[in-house]
Amino acid sequence: MRFAIILLAAALLLSPAAAQTGGTAIPTTTLSLGTATPGGGFPLYGNAFAEVMNAADPQITIAPRNTKGSNENIPLLEKGELDLALVAGEPAYEAFAGIGRAKVRLKILTAIYSNPGMFVVRADSPYKTIRDLVGQPVAFGAKGSGLPILARYVLDGLGLRQDEDFKAVYLDRAGDGPAMVEDGRVAALWGAGIGWPGFAAVASSASGARFIAPSEEEVTRIRAKHSFLKPMIVPAGSYPKQAEPIASLGSWSFVLTREDLPDDVAYRLAKTLHGVEATFCKKLAQACETTAANTVAAAPKPELIHPGVMKYFREIGVVK
């Protein structure tokens, strides 16, 4: 895989005309992209990302691959078994900071979308606040995904323990959660983001949905303990029958690259991606947040952005 990408890096220096030798085009190179379990937001985004990028640049093929999510994607990137991967904000934060592990040397290709966290319950349920859910069965997301980590930080800020104060359920597949809310196996499903499939499924169900997010006072308490979490808004209409905006908090998810992804490849990926921002936005609502400016703003530190990406950002004036 790495040898193929080194060949691609050299080929990218050639003009389209020079890329022909004896009438033979340079072969397409495939980059693997780790997503998560079926039914969640990462496969939805990753598949759309690959379709848009592959259509825009025929010399690179991005191949999405289902994984167990962020917590598997990070070590797969470190071992070079993935070229690119989607990673939620909290696992990325811990990995970059070396919390509970050695610091990673992975790089950011792009910020993808914000992840305001909240619970969804049936519209006819008696639960109105986070405290109402204490002692109840709650699905916190798929094993290995970033969602349970976000929930842990949010609940910790409120003095609650995810596995002790709730009957915590961890899913084998992200797509299993909505049916569990609908049939009463769990009181609530935790999730995050705008256009997240799990929330959309519950909101579209016969029973309908009610969303439970931290109150303004709870957001203040959470941020006093975990300041890396940022206030965020879920705009009205993000989900069926959601008439009002919802205030919550969360972080940004990223596409990360393995440490040794060549600069020329990262540059080309960034140039292709940000050249089709409008097309990507039309294809997937969440992708409207995938912009160069948001990547610069969301990165914990500028040096965590891949050097090839930073070269492109300097060229377009997003950074100096």
pLDDT tens per residue across span 208-251: 999 999 999 999 999 999 988 999 999 999 999 999 999 999 99
Cα separation values, 148 from 138, 163, 208, 241, Å: 11, 10, 24, 26
CATH superfamily, domain at 115-251? Periplasmic binding protein-like II (3.40.190.10)
Domain boundaries in the chain? 29-113+252-316, 115-251
Given a contact cutoff of 8 angstroms between Cβ atoms, the answer to whether 187 and 125 are in contact is yes
Let me know the angle formed at the C-alpha of 50 by 262 and 91, rounded to the nearest 5 degrees.
Answer: 70
What pLDDT is recorded for position 15?
36
Alpha carbons 224 and 219: distance in angstroms, whole number: 9
Closest CA to 275 of 215, 316, 218, 234: 316
User: How confident is the model at residue 96, as a pLDDT?
Assistant: 96
Pairing of strands 188-192, 209-212: unpaired
Query: What is the structure's pLDDT at 26?
Result: 52
Name, in order, each residue with C-beta under 8 angstroms of 194's C-beta and a sequence gap of 6 or more.
Answer: 113, 114, 116, 234, 235, 238, 285, 286, 289
**What would the two tokens of residue 218 be?**
């709870």
pLDDT in tens, the chain (320 residues): 554 444 444 444 433 333 333 444 556 789 999 999 998 899 999 999 999 999 999 999 999 999 999 999 999 999 999 999 999 999 999 999 999 999 999 999 999 999 999 999 999 999 999 999 999 999 999 888 889 999 999 999 999 999 999 999 999 988 999 999 999 999 999 999 888 999 999 999 999 999 999 999 999 999 999 988 999 999 999 999 999 999 999 999 999 999 999 999 999 999 999 999 999 999 999 999 999 999 999 999 999 999 999 999 999 999 98
Output the pLDDT for position 112.
Answer: 97
Question: What pLDDT is recorded for position 48?
Answer: 98
Q: How many degrees, rounded to 5, is the angle at CA 196 between CA 195 and CA 199? A: 100
How far is it, in rounded angstroms, from Cα 278 to Cα 297? 19
**C-beta of residue 275 within 8 angstroms of C-beta of residue 56:** yes
- pLDDT of 27 reads 64
The pLDDT of residue 24:
46
Cα separations in angstroms, 97 against 25, 39, 77, 207, 219: 43, 30, 17, 42, 23
Pairing state between β 107-122 and 209-212: antiparallel
Q: What is the pLDDT of residue 14?
A: 38
Fold observed for domain 29-113+252-316: D-Maltodextrin-Binding Protein; domain 2 (3.40.190)
pLDDT of residue 40: 87
Q: Is 107 left (phi over 0), alpha (psi -120 to 50) or beta?
A: beta
